[in-house]
Structure 1
Amino acid sequence: MLNNLADFFSSGSNLVFFFFAILAIGGAIFMLSFTRVIHMVLALALTFLSLAGLYVLLEAEFVAFVQVLIYAGAISILMIFGIMMTKHQGEEEEPRRPLHSILTAVGALALFGILFYAIQQATFPTAGGFEPGEDNTLEIGKLLFNVHVIPFELMSVLLTVAFIGAIVIAKREEE
């Protein structure tokens, strides 16, 4: 059982995968456990960036770039602006429940133990014959602007109409 673990950590790409996976899981846990909204957004941005690192390991550079540009950049900044523009009342503290925290920790450790055991006992098939494309971004661009150009344009019109509708609704509520 530990031989599989030693083999796993002997590869550099597996170590980088483990690092990004721990960051993604840690960011998600921090996002759920923080009480201040701005700290939650920063933890969510950490999760988004670590997912982009995982996409780079999978040789999906375009998806990683979009992850950083849209999610880690635009969505996180949009959430921060939303927090800054809204009025927040004094945050009330939840009562401490030590038994609840202990049971949650025991349940999480049991889940990770079961998953660790199941992964160690599993035999995974090797990927045979799969070669990634020479330039993934070029292939996505060809598909997007040749084969799927009509759905792409319809989506842009739909997003523009939704944006204008959101502005109209916001102006009505303001008055």
Structure 2
Amino acid sequence: MLDNIVAFFTSAESLLFLVFAMVVISGAILMLSFTKVVHMVVALAFTFLGLAGLYVMLDAEFVAFVQVLIYAGAVSILMIFGIMMTRHDQPEEEPRRPWYNGLLLVGSVALFGILFFVIQSANFQSGTLDAGVDNTKAIGEQLFTRHVIPFELMSVLLTVAFIGAIILAKREED
């Protein structure tokens, strides 16, 4: 088991994976821990950026680009605009109990310990991955030939959701 750990930390790819995984996990934990909504959105954006880095490591450049463009960019900005345009009443925050952070730390260490030992004892199949030369072109061809109907239905669904959000925002204003 110690040989596996040493082999993991000597590989640059594994260290890069560890950095991106820590960015994703930290952003997710911070997003859940923050009390201000704007701070939550920023932490969520860091999580999205870490996921994009993981996609790049998987040779899925198109998915990484879409992750940055759509989620880290557009969704985060949309959330911030939504926060700025709505009223927020500040409810009084319930004081945390003194043992809350200690219990949170024990639970996190236990979870990561269990995950570590389960992954170490797992038997993964080794093989080669043929990522293809131009996966963006292949995605475009599949999207606009084989999956054109679901793509168009999704655009109609998003348009209806956008119009519904405008109608709901107008009702709150009146």
* Fold equivalence (TM over 0.5): yes
Q: 1:65-87: per-residue Cα shift (whole Å, max 9, x none)? A: 11001100011001111111112
Distance 1:119 1:155 in 2: 37
Q: 1:103-155: per-residue Cα shift (whole Å, max 9, x none)? A: 22112211211221222222322024x31111110000001111122222222
Q: 1:3-61: per-residue Cα shift (whole Å, max 9, x none)? A: 10110111111111000000000000111111111111100000000000000000011
**SS at structure 2 position matched to 1:69:** helix
Structure 1 residue 68 corresponds to structure 2 residue 68: yes
Cα distance, 1:164 vs. partner?
A: 2.5
Q: Provide structure 2 residue ranges, at least 5 long, that are not aligned to the other structure.
A: none
Change in Cα spacing, 1:155 to 1:56, as seen in structure 2 (3 Å) is same
**TM-score, normalising length: structure 1:** 0.91
Q: Which residue of 1 aligns with 2:34?
A: 34
Q: How does 1:154-165 map to 2 (within 5 A)?
A: 154-165=153-164
Q: Which residue of 2 aligns with 1:145?
A: 144
**TM-score, normalising length: structure 2:** 0.92
Cα distance, 1:64 vs. partner?
A: 0.5
Cα distance, 1:173 vs. partner?
A: 3.9
Stretch of structure 1 that moved more, 147-156 or 66-75: 147-156
Aligned residues: 174
Cα distance, 1:91 vs. partner?
A: 4.9
Distance 1:43 1:167 in 2: 27
**SS at structure 1 position matched to 2:48:** helix
Q: Which residue of 1 aligns with 2:101?
A: 101
Could you tell me which amino acid in structure 2 is paired with residue 140 of structure 1? I
Could you tell me which amino acid in structure 2 is paired with residue 158 of structure 1? L
Structure 1 residue 10 corresponds to structure 2 residue 10: yes
% identical aligned pairs: 67
Q: How does 1:76-95 map to 2 (within 5 A)?
A: 76-95=76-95
Change in Cα spacing, 1:166 to 1:39, as seen in structure 2 (3 Å) is closer
Distance 2:86 2:9 in 1: 46
Distance 1:150 1:12 in 2: 42
**SS at structure 2 position matched to 1:98:** coil
Could you tell me which amino acid in structure 1 is paired with residue 164 of structure 2? G
Change in Cα spacing, 1:173 to 1:106, as seen in structure 2 (3 Å) is closer
RMSD: 1.6
**SS at structure 2 position matched to 1:126:** coil
Q: Provide structure 1 residue ranges, at least 5 long, that are not aligned to the other structure.
A: none
Q: Which residue of 1 aligns with 2:167?
A: 168
